[in-house]
Structure 1
Amino acid sequence: MIRKTVLPNGLKIVTERTPYLRGAVAHLRFGIGSGQEPTKIQGVAHVLEHMVFKGTPELDQVAFGNEIARLGCSTNASTGFESTTYELDGPAETVLQGLDVFAGVIANFHVPPEEFDKEKDVIQEEYKMIQDDPSAWGEDLAYHALLGDFAHPTIGTPDSLDGLTRSTVLEFAKEHYTPDNLIVGVVGNVEHEQVVEVIGKHFGSETRTRKAPHEVPLTQIKVRHEEEDCEQEQVFLGFRAPEVTRKDLPAFDVAMTILGGDSWSRLFQRLRNELGLVYQVDGSYSGWPHVGSYMIYAGCQPSETDRVLAEIQSELFKLKADITADELLRSKAMLKSSLLMSSDQLGNKVHKLIDDELLFGTYRQYEQDIAELDAVTVEEALRLAHEVLDTDKMTQVTVGPHQPSN
């Protein structure tokens, strides 16, 4: 049920037909994101994402939105560190029509000068909104501190946004929104050949090739505190982690799920259930082909910040000392459950289609992922915990009224 076509210009199309589902999802992912931007134009990938929705000379943003709505479809987009993804979902019987409209807009969008200036103002408001959310702002600062400008806030800065010009955005699109830098994934009860026909109609004759992305070196800030008058202190501890293509990544996933994966995890049990210091504490992994990150987050009373930091680090040392067979069993069960549940969701299915194609050149069956989890041993999980959870290489970021003493 999974098919792949590569057009002569390098554009890849992968589909999974699901006749048992009534909905459908299409993603169009360009291999360019905020982590590949020169410093002076930080935020350009995100601005470009916004500008695509302004429509074309023949179909402005209002007409575009109305046309998509008539089909019962919806559109969205997101900018990551290494990609920009345009998303469409709707009923399987109309999603191809929606894809025809959306692909036409992405291939032929224009940037009216008056709309460009207006949208920059909108993004400045988005920046303020993020700053008004200490946890969201803290997360941006934490990734930036851990990975340097590769992980700078995707939205850019007020100064970099002010400096962006319409011509800069259009040039960025010309260099990176090319067919050989685009992969299209569709999951739903649709025919592969029809998807290829729609995408080929809008992108098949384009022969431009991508410009090599700007290389951003990885740097690190060990400690950062951002003074903020808020009720809670936002605490982030970050670690460089295995890249997403590492063969032993399942062992890392198993170890980190034991540490901060769910309500039974060690961090949750110790800091919330035993000590009552936090409402939320968890850990999350993000990975790219050249680097990964593991970020621990907790929100606490400012007066308890030092204690929370000490307790988290204590749990790190304990994890590196011992993992029980029962914890290994529970972690594997939770990770396998997450895989199986995600396999029933259209959005996750199309993400996996595209990710597997980009990372491995082929689709990996869920059974393969599960088999690799099953094969993880206590020794392997401990080895990855030791490798990653080195507090001498840790980044600590806090946002709130209390500056930690350590």
Structure 2
Amino acid sequence: MLTKHTCKNGLRIVLEQIPSVRSVSMGIWVLTGSRNESKELNGISHFLEHMFFKGTKTRSAQDIAEAFDSIGGQVNAFTSKEYTCYYARVMDTHKEYAFDILADMFFNSTFDGKEMQREKKVIYEEIKMYEDTPDDIVHDLLARASFGEHPLGYPILGTEEQLASFDEETLRAYIKKHYIPENIVISVAGNVDSSFLTFVEDLFGSFQYDNHETPIEKPTFIGNQIQRSKDTEQAHICLGYNGFSVDDAQIYSMIVMNNVLGGNMSSRLFQEVREKQGLAYSVFSYHTSYLDSGLLTIYAGTGKEQLSHLRETIQNTVQTFVEKGITEKELNNSKEQLKGSLMLSLESTNNRMSRNGKNELLLQRHRTLDEMIQEIDTVSDSSVQDVIDFVFKHDYSTAIIAPEHT
């Protein structure tokens, strides 16, 4: 059973009771990420996420880590383009203790100067590690090729130069502007009852920052190409196509289409690029939905001498897709796979917490399992063809990381 409650300060709580389990997953979801940053502040959302773990007025960073380890719990956080999440998963007997620590981190982090300098070094290393992983960073290059100077084109980690400028005052100003109650959803799923709502509201229901309304600018898909030379064994390529926002009526048709194109081992791209031609070990496609836009990405990595052949094969596969559409077998298989994946995902309290948190944060609504299955069932070959025509009959963006002489 899903319960939704809005506190007097505007903060929302969603709680799903699952009496058959003994765990509780909890997350603090904040509607801010790298998209909400200026160029000068790029990377601050991710840096702030790190700093919430570095000590409060009464707990050191080690105390926070030991507190969760001592109860066999898990605690972590992540930053995306549009939201940040701080979450924990614990046994039901420790839910109040765990959530109290999350609240302490959220409200009472000290942002100590020495801890900030130490954590900046950690993120510098994270950036270097990312730079050494071309099959990851090529996706960041694709975002820049697709959206240019729009914040959706910024890297989530920022740069060393930008990180160096952040101090306590910068962090607290960013919190006051973006960590306002209206931008926050507390999502809880597991063996809890409605009394836990009161516990959460007591901690989060009365704080207030001034609501600085900061409207986001819709990006324009620009379809550029970016190529970077790097001493790698493989060449890595991403192709990007204009996609759909999270609440677009065609989103389920898009998901079905992506599944057929490159979403699994039976997909067109996997079968053609890997199984038939042996051009790549890794080849796939995925669709990313934002509040007002989306991006379909095709990725593959291959030996440097095969890059041209790989790109041509991908483009030919897409062209056949445009001209002939999908088969009835592909349509039915894709829909059944999506329904199966959806049902299996609901067996995890963490997945349910995440689904509820994102739905409330981005959509302000929650579909039942039956409603979602019905949405998938209504996808037809003609609705998928409409998506194919929208996505592939326009310009696309390209990002390539390859050795210099390729």
TM-score range, shorter chain: over 0.9
Equivalent position of 2:22 in the other structure: 22
Within 1, Cα distance between the matches of 2:218 and 2:405? Answer: 29
Moved over 4 A (4+): none
Aligned to 1:264, the other structure's residue is in SS state coil
Residue 210 of structure 1, CA deviation: 3.4
Within 1, Cα distance between the matches of 2:97 and 2:350? Answer: 19
Aligned to 1:55, the other structure's residue is in SS state coil
Residue 214 of structure 1, CA deviation: 6.5
Residue 217 of structure 1, CA deviation: 5.5
Please list the CA deviations of residues 169-226 of structure 1 after superposition, one character each: whole Å capped at 9, or x if unmatched: 12101221222221000000012222x2332232222122432336456253511111
Give 1:75-154 correspondences, 5 Å limit: 75-148=75-148, 149-154=151-156
Residue 47 of structure 1, CA deviation: 0.8
In structure 2, give the amino acid aligned to 1:333. E
In structure 1, give the amino acid aligned to 2:208. T
Contact 1:285 1:292 in 2 (8 A): yes
Equivalent position of 1:213 in the other structure: 214
Among 358, 362, 370, which residue is 2:361 paired with?
A: 358
Number of matched residues?
Answer: 402
Among 223, 231, 234, which residue is 1:232 paired with?
A: 234
Residue 367 of structure 1, CA deviation: 1.4
Among 190, 193, 200, which residue is 2:192 paired with?
A: 190
Please list the CA deviations of residues 260-309 of structure 1 after superposition, one character each: whole Å capped at 9, or x if unmatched: 01111000110111101011110011111201111111010111101111
Contact 1:81 1:151 in 2 (8 A): no
Equivalent position of 1:267 in the other structure: 269
Equivalent position of 2:260 in the other structure: 258
Aligned to 1:58, the other structure's residue is in SS state coil
Does 1:341 pair with 2:344? yes
Please list the CA deviations of residues 288-343 of structure 1 after superposition, one character each: whole Å capped at 9, or x if unmatched: 12011111110101111011111111111111122111111111111111111111
Unaligned runs of 5+ in 2: none
What do you get for the CA RMSD once the two structures are aligned? 1.6
Contact 2:24 2:89 in 1 (8 A): yes
Aligned to 2:126, the other structure's residue is in SS state helix
Residue 403 of structure 1, CA deviation: 6.9
Equivalent position of 1:222 in the other structure: 224
Contact 1:237 1:394 in 2 (8 A): yes
Aligned to 2:90, the other structure's residue is in SS state strand
Contact 1:16 1:188 in 2 (8 A): yes
Within 2, Cα distance between the matches of 1:151 and 1:324? Answer: 35
Within 1, Cα distance between the matches of 2:165 and 2:112? Answer: 17
Equivalent position of 1:56 in the other structure: 56
Contact 2:34 2:81 in 1 (8 A): yes
Deviation larger for 144-153 or 175-184: 144-153
Aligned to 1:72, the other structure's residue is in SS state coil
**TM-score w.r.t. length of structure 1:** 0.95
In structure 1, give the amino acid aligned to 2:55. G
Contact 1:27 1:85 in 2 (8 A): yes
Deviation larger for 17-26 or 216-225: 216-225
Within 2, Cα distance between the matches of 1:180 and 1:217? Answer: 21
Deviation larger for 205-214 or 159-168: 205-214
Within 2, Cα distance between the matches of 1:346 and 1:69? Answer: 19
